[in-house]
Structure 1
Amino acid sequence: MSGFVLHPDALADLDEIWEFIAGDNLTAADGVLEEIYERLVLLSPFRKLATAAPILLHGRFVFSPCRIF
């Protein structure tokens, strides 16, 4: 993972995402995290193009798209 470092809270969130999906499908769980990391690698060269986001409060934001397995 060169080019970026994930905050411990982000790592914990990714672990929770993996565990949730892995409850149904280990291969899908691995695939989702692999896709997330691939996107982070692609985005990491451009991290200075935007300002840092403030800490988000739980439940204030909804993210899309949803994935169906």
Structure 2
Amino acid sequence: MSTDLSEFIWFKSSYSSAEKDCVEVAFLGAGAVGVRDSKDPAGPALVFPADEWHSFTARIISGGLDQSQS
């Protein structure tokens, strides 16, 4: 199934410079978050439930996904 996500506001991290490619995120409403490759904005996007996205980003911030600590 393909859904047009072009009407949403996509953003990159403030740590990303203009020259670097990275992921972009959009809050899609209805409890969903979209994630796509900034090099291919018309390409596919992954859509996650907002609570799962927030759990994922909280683990990143807390260092919970840092494999160098294992």
Higher relative helix content: 1
| TM-score by shorter chain over 0.5 | no
Report which structure shows greater RCO (CA 8 Å, sep ≥6): 1
Q: Decide which structure has greater strand share.
A: 2
Query: Scaled by the length of structure 2, what TM-score is found?
Result: 0.32
